[in-house]
Structure 1
Amino acid sequence: MLHSMTGFAALKGEEDGYTWAWDLRSVNAKGLDIRLRMPDWIEGLEAVVKGALSKSLGRGSVNLNLRVNKGDEQGTLAVNEQQLQAVIQALQVVETTAMDQGVALQPSRASDLMAVRGVLENVAPDSGQKKLLGALAAQLPDLISSFVEMRQAEGQSLYDVLMEQVSQIEILTKSASVAAESRRQSTAKTLRENLARVMENTEGADEARVAQELAMIAVKSDVMEELDRLHAHVGAARTLLATEGPIGRKLDFLMQEFNREANTLCSKAQSVDLTQIGLDLKAVIDQMREQVQNVE
């Protein structure tokens, strides 16, 4: 089943006086980029979360936010001495520089230092922290399952749109084949008339050489190879869309091939009808490329 890279899921829970809320969402990206915002005092949680997400997802810019609250009886506040020393040293540098330049600063207060992120930490009791980690880890599969289900639902809608666009490309390619065949007959007639005109008005011309040059012109204007490749790409796209697993990168590469053949078709068209079909093809292919960017 096709998966979209766009998705969202949210869950809440509580355990032993703790309450929490998960928020998981993603948008398209070239690879898998996981960004986590969660309490750093729950030891081991980040590795568990990142491992579970990496195992379940193939591509996307994924952002997970976890907010944990606890009652007054749970845990204590502790000073991170290393962070505090780093803040004090930085403050000393600022104050010294300001004094050297004649700038007066307000005296620093303890509350100012405590407000700096990382100086004051919530520390849970070991037993409570382990219970909390276990509860969060137990709920994580439900969060990811809900998230994947939404990406699958988005993927189904995306699948329908892409299949419709592939059908449009196929119809336009068939129309281009008809237009090319009609143009071929008129082109052959024009080439014969031009050859006769050239031979009648040019003395000493090498007839074989002239015929060879005209044949090369005919080859350069032949678009059947491009149309054959477009038909092949249509089949390849349908096969990919029916394939399980991440296919976004392969589809993106295939869209480049579609676009290359459509560009060549337009450059070799030499007829209003074929040119218009080529432009319509480019428009549908461009729309499809935008949708493909969301495929996992």
Structure 2
Amino acid sequence: MAEIYSMTAFARESASVSGGELIAEVRTVNHRYLDCSFKLPEALRNAETRLRDRAAARLSRGKLDCQFRFQAGGAQAATLEIDRARLQQVLGATTELRALLPDAQAVNPLELLQFPGVCATAEIDETALLQGATALFEAALTSLLENRAREGAKMAAVIRERLTQVEAATLATRQLVPALRERQRARLQARLAELQVEIDPGRLEQELVYLAQKADVDEELDRLQAHIGEVQRTLDKGGPCGRRLDFLMQELNREANTLSSKSIASSSTHNAVELKVLIEQMREQVQNIE
């Protein structure tokens, strides 16, 4: 039996790379199609297309948000080199500004260090970093898919349970039909007797046939049973099946509404309402299936 995947999951992976540690966090939520968003450090800007292709190869639907963080470590993190020429340029600019703005606050030395170019950073091997990021993203996707499969299995179990109840309610309604038809016939005859109205037997039979056709639900019950079977087959097949299941939920709900509109007794009305409740519970689960 193939797996069912949820569209909601989270995964976090990290790995040591040249110069520090690389961290990848991926999160997905439900979406009509695959929509990927990446937040990457400057050294990985060129990796977005490659990462997007990897995501498309392993995911069919869902909104994916991926964030990479690079934390420098070892000698790279311990070394702080100041570009004195650049610092002098910045100090000269601040001196000119203080002449124009005498009431301005003094410059914070830490803010000077954060100015672009003041602190020299060690060169990063971007090729090695790109390879590390690609491998890390694959590992994060694997963890994400495992989480999606676990959640998908739970949702499939809920749908199967509700589907069993839908099938039971459908069978119960089918078993009620003969008695309801006979009750409808007896009710009409009793009403005519109460009114002391004589009616041609042929005409009475025509009216009874008309009423029976108006309240006939055999086709709706047959279609419900067919849709139930299709939902079961779709779940057994697994894979990206959320759209198909959503369509089947619409079809099930349509037949349940028709049953409700044709109901001629409280028992059948109760079954129709129960069907709609169960179908809505399944639909809520289906909305999050890939």
Q: What TM bracket, shorter-length normalisation?
A: 0.7 to 0.9
* Residue of structure 1 equivalent to 2:100: none
Q: Is the 8 A contact 1:75 1:125 kept in 2?
A: no
Q: Residue 271 of structure 1: which of 265, 270, 279 is its match?
A: 265
Equivalents in 2 of 1:212, 1:55: separation in Å?
Answer: 63
Letter aligned with residue 15 of structure 2: G
* Residue of structure 2 equivalent to 1:5: 7
Which consecutive unaligned segments of at least 5 residues does structure 2 have? 84-102
1:251-290 correspondence runs (5 A) = 251-290=245-284
* Residue of structure 1 equivalent to 2:133: 136
Tell me, yes or no, if structure 1 residue 294 matches structure 2 residue 268: no
Q: Look up the SS of the partner of 2:263 in the other structure.
A: coil
How many residue pairs were aligned? 261
Letter aligned with residue 68 of structure 1: F
Letter aligned with residue 167 of structure 1: T
Change (3 A) 1:76 1:252: farther
* Residue of structure 1 equivalent to 2:70: 68
* Residue of structure 1 equivalent to 2:222: 228
Q: Is the 8 A contact 2:14 2:136 kept in 1?
A: no
Tell me, yes or no, if structure 1 residue 154 matches structure 2 residue 151: yes
Equivalents in 1 of 2:186, 2:79: separation in Å?
Answer: 91
Q: Residue 18 of structure 2: which of 10, 16, 26 is its match?
A: 16
Identity of aligned residues (%): 33
* Residue of structure 2 equivalent to 1:181: 178
* Residue of structure 2 equivalent to 1:47: 49
- Alignment root-mean-square deviation, CA: 3.3
Equivalents in 1 of 2:193, 2:208: separation in Å?
Answer: 11
Deviations 1:235-260 (A, max 9, x none): 01100001132000000010011111
Change (3 A) 1:124 1:179: farther
Equivalents in 1 of 2:17, 2:159: separation in Å?
Answer: 45
Q: Is the 8 A contact 1:22 1:66 kept in 2?
A: yes
Which consecutive unaligned segments of at least 5 residues does structure 1 have? 79-105
Deviations 1:230-287 (A, max 9, x none): 1111101100001132000000010011111111111111101111111111111111
Equivalents in 1 of 2:182, 2:20: separation in Å?
Answer: 80
C-alpha deviation, 1:18, in angstroms: 2.5
Change (3 A) 1:120 1:265: farther
C-alpha deviation, 1:69, in angstroms: 2.4
Q: Residue 237 of structure 1: which of 218, 231, 237 is its match?
A: 231
Change (3 A) 1:35 1:43: closer
Equivalents in 2 of 1:13, 1:62: separation in Å?
Answer: 21
Q: Is the 8 A contact 2:6 2:289 kept in 1?
A: yes
* Residue of structure 1 equivalent to 2:164: 167
Deviations 1:35-55 (A, max 9, x none): 111124324211111111111
